[in-house]
Amino acid sequence: MTSLILQAFYLALPAYFANMAPVIFAKMGLLKSLARPIDNGRKLGSDYIFGSGKTWRGIISAVILSIIISGIQAWLFGWDFFRSISVVDYPHKWLIFGCLAGLGAILGDLFKSFLKRRVGILSGRSWPIFDQLDFIVGFFLFTYLLVRPSWQLIIAVFVLTLVLHPLTNVIAYVLKIKEVWW
């Protein structure tokens, strides 16, 4: 069981960092020129397509941070412990895996934002379960052809995310990194 949890955490680590990247880059003032809404304020009907919080900086930062984490995992692959919990052949796939993981995670979040606007949930408002799992769904959709984890591992990632996502959001809120606790 412990091995499955470690594998789940390690596999999803690039997606977890990709999901945090927009907030981290914004707080650090990085890539300011890309802090423009993807939808440029356009609306579909009476609602914004995505909302002002979904920016080009968010997409780029998610991919950058995911690639960095995957690169670190490739470096760590030389140690037996990390190789034993890896389901990705990092030395040969770290760059493409990092890119797909980051892109999948952030586009999963973007698609959820699109759906939130369609069902009338305002930008920044909570949408339980969807807010926690959107990026993981995107992560698996984008990386599945490269890495085929077992269904047990996929379920473990989903359960772990349901625990870790709210916990990290509360910590970020307390540290004044995020404006809302969700």
- As a whole number, mean pLDDT of residues 14-34 equals 96
Calpha distance 45→118 (Å, rounded): 9
Residues 148-177 have pLDDT tens digits of 999 999 999 999 999 999 898 899 889 888
Calpha distance 174→182 (Å, rounded): 11
- As a whole number, mean pLDDT of residues 121-143 equals 92
Angle between helices 2-28 and 130-143 (to 10 degrees): 100
Q: Strands 43-44, 47-48: parallel, antiparallel or unpaired by DSSP?
A: antiparallel
Banded model confidence at residue 98, pLDDT cuts 50, 70, 90: very high
Per-domain boundaries in the chain: 2-174
Backbone angles phi, psi at 43, to 5 degrees: -120, 155
Q: pTM of the entire structure?
A: 0.93
Residues 47-56 have pLDDT tens digits of 889 988 999 9
Stated as kind and residue range, the H or E segment containing 44 is strand 43-44
